[in-house]
Amino acid sequence: MADQRVAVVTGASRGIGRAAATTLAAAGHAVVVGYAGDDAAAKQVVEQITAAGGQAVAGRADIADEQAVAKLFDTAEQSFGGVDVVVNSAGRMSLSPIADLDLADLDALHRTNIRGTFVVAREAARRVRTGGAIVLFSTSVVGLQFPGYGAYAASKGAVEAMTLILAREMRGRDVTVNAVAPGPTATDLFLDGKDEATVERLAKQPPLERLGTPADLAEVVAFLAGPGGRWVNGQIVRANGGII
């Protein structure tokens, strides 16, 4: 289909990225399932999309590697004819008080969350077609300032700055640039290392009194990527159930 929209989704083998990939596919996008290393999980996502009648291919890429990311976009162009939507949901999280953080962990976190986001955003800015959308990922912790999240929130603060500036740099291209900033969401990334009491406490914080789900965030992504979100641009959407 000449008018079919094509989405590149990073971090799409699990969690929010997987939900975003399948939701965009259900909305009619052909999807490139970007993933870092889990071949089997990425294959499952492709099979899930194609079994439902959609189109998808997998592409392996470390998002901080500019050559690998360029190949991911090449895959979209060669398989489906171009790129209309880019969703960068790949990310890393390290939790520690600032006083105790291992700087190797800081460097690894920033390599993925800052450099990786920048590399994907740069490629998206070069390749996304007119009428397209770029969706990056921040975190509501930038505003909530939970102890232990200093390095992670700092990296996502950089993403928010990137988002707002890129939206302005895309002037005249009819391409929107926004970031989704989830609150506590039931993903492996979030649940890892947290005991049951901590998870329960965080789940009670929003007025809706539950954790977010990957599907909740995927619907926000689909809105920003779709026709209903065309007038939303240069925004940080804090999708967190109302935590303040």
Position 2 pLDDT exceeds 70: no
Closest alpha carbon to 55 in 114, 106, 6: 6
Q: What is the CA radius of gyration of the chain?
A: 17
- pLDDT level of residue 210 (50, 70, 90 thresholds): very high
Among the listed residues 35, 149, 152, 190, the single catalytic one is 152
Average pLDDT over residues 110-138: 98
CB within 8 Å of 65: residues ≥ 6 apart: 119
Residue 204, φ and ψ in degrees, nearest 5? -85, -10
Q: What residue segments make up the domains of the chain, in order of their start?
A: 6-237
Average pLDDT, the chain: 95
**Where does residue 125 rank: exposed (0-12), middle (13-18), buried (19+ CB within 10 A)?**
middle
pLDDT digits (tens, 9 = 90+) for 129-169: 999 999 999 999 999 999 999 999 999 999 999 999 999 99
> Comparing C-alpha atoms, which of 210, 215, 235, 140 is closest to residue 182?
140
CA distances from 44 to 12, 48, 62, 63, 211 (A): 11, 6, 19, 20, 25
Tell me the per-residue pLDDT of 226-235, one tens digit each, with 9 for 90 and over.
999 999 999 9
Encoding tokens for residue 143?
């505003």
With vertex at residue 40, the alpha carbon angle to CA 35 and CA 44, rounded to the nearest 5 degrees, is: 85
- Across the beta sheet with 6-10, the strand order is 56-60, 30-35, 6-10, 85-88, 133-137, 176-180, 236-237
Which band of pLDDT confidence, cut at 50, 70 and 90, is reported for residue 221? very high
pLDDT band at 84 (very low <50, low <70, confident <90, very high): very high
Query: One-letter amino acid identity for 140?
Result: S
Residue 35: helix, strand or coil by DSSP? strand
Stretch 55-67: mean pLDDT: 98
What percent of the chain has a predicted confidence (pLDDT) above 90? 89
Q: Which residue has the higher pLDDT, 93 or 191?
A: 93
152 as an active site residue: the answer is yes
Whether pTM exceeds 0.85: yes
Say what percent of the chain tops pLDDT 70.
Answer: 99
Q: What is the mean pLDDT of residues 99-125?
A: 97
pLDDT of residue 1: 45
Task: Tell me which fold the domain 6-237 belongs to.
Answer: Rossmann fold (3.40.50)
Strands in 3-45 per DSSP E = 6-10, 30-35
Q: Is residue 114 very low, low, confident or very high in pLDDT (cuts 50, 70, 90)?
A: very high
